[in-house]
């Protein structure tokens, strides 16, 4: 028996009572509770590891991982995903790590670990896809920043569902795109940011507005559908070459 506010309760009754209580969930479906940011830290380690390995291999890793329209057209489709883990120089890496450290853990607490990582990958794919579809045939780009801003865009969708003011979020995203356009318009690298924001927001809508019943499965199917649309866009572009 276990002591209660009035008398005692049997352990089985206590367990049954706890099982009947629903776990509080965020707007994205993640369980409300302490979050150590494990997924955020894992992504930060992955970005740093890619940078270090690229240095160690004399740029070999970057050469096979960055987004290259010419290489993708030749069949190297993996670059559409691996580009989301390439940051370029130390400054680019530092900026991506800083945003992940400052905002990533809070976003992860809303999304949950697997949704956080999946959203990062899907947003990076969106950035690479738009660059391939609209960018120059021989252009190349880095897409880690696209994946990071995709997380911010999805978080804004979650705030929108919660009826929070998202004007600061939208303003930040617009400023980031404008800055990328101003400093590198000719390289078309800003297309990856636009793609990351658009696909990140779409994925955020899928995650935030999925019905509660079988929410996890619906969210997974929705994210896979977005990936399929990106792949279809790439295949259509390839057919035009």
Domain region containing 151 = 35-239
Return the sign of the alpha-carbon dihedral for residues 81, 82, 85, 86.
negative
CATH code for position 71: 1.20.1540.10
C-alpha distances in Å from residue 151, one per residue of 1, 52, 228, 238, 239? 48, 24, 19, 28, 31
| Number of domains observed in the structure of the chain | 1
DSSP code of 83? G
In tens digits, the chain (241 residues) has pLDDT values of 555 555 555 656 545 545 455 678 787 888 887 777 999 999 999 999 999 999 999 999 989 999 999 999 999 999 999 999 999 899 999 999 999 999 999 999 999 999 999 999 999 999 999 999 999 999 999 999 999 999 999 999 999 999 999 999 999 999 999 999 998 888 899 999 999 999 999 999 999 999 988 999 999 999 999 999 999 999 999 998 7
Q: Which residue has the tokens 């924001």?
A: 197
CB-hemisphere CA count at 13 Å for 38?
Answer: 6
pTM assigned to the model: 0.89
Residue 219 included in any domain: yes
Residue 56 included in any domain: yes
Residue 13 included in any domain: no
Angle (CA) 158 163 164, round 5°? 80
Residue 5 included in any domain: no
């Amino acid at each position: 028996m276990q002591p209660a506010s009035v008398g005692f309760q049997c352990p089985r009754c206590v367990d049954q009572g706890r099982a009947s209580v629903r776990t509080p969930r965020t707007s994205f479906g993640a369980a409300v509770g302490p979050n150590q940011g494990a997924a955020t830290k894992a992504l930060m380690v992955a970005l740093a590891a890619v940078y270090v390995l690229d240095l160690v291999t004399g740029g070999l890793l970057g050469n096979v991982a960055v987004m290259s329209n010419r290489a993708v057209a030749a069949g190297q489709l993996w670059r559409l995903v691996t580009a989301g883990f390439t940051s370029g120089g130390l400054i680019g890496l530092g900026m991506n790590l800083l945003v992940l450290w400052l905002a990533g853990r809070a976003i992860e607490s809303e999304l949950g670990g697997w949704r956080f990582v999946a959203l990062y990958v899907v947003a990076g794919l969106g950035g690479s896809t738009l660059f391939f579809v609209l960018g120059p045939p021989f252009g190349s780009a880095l897409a880690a920043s696209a994946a990071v801003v995709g997380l911010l865009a999805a978080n804004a969708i979650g705030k929108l569902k919660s009826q929070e003011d998202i004007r600061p979020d939208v303003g930040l995203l617009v400023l980031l795109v404008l800055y990328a356009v101003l400093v590198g318009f000719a390289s078309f690298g800003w297309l990856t940011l636009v793609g990351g924001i658009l696909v990140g927001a779409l994925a955020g809508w899928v995650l935030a507005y999925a019905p509660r019943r079988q929410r996890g499965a619906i969210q997974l199917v929705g994210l896979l559908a977005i990936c399929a649309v990106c792949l279809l866009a790439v295949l259509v572009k390839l057919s035009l070459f």
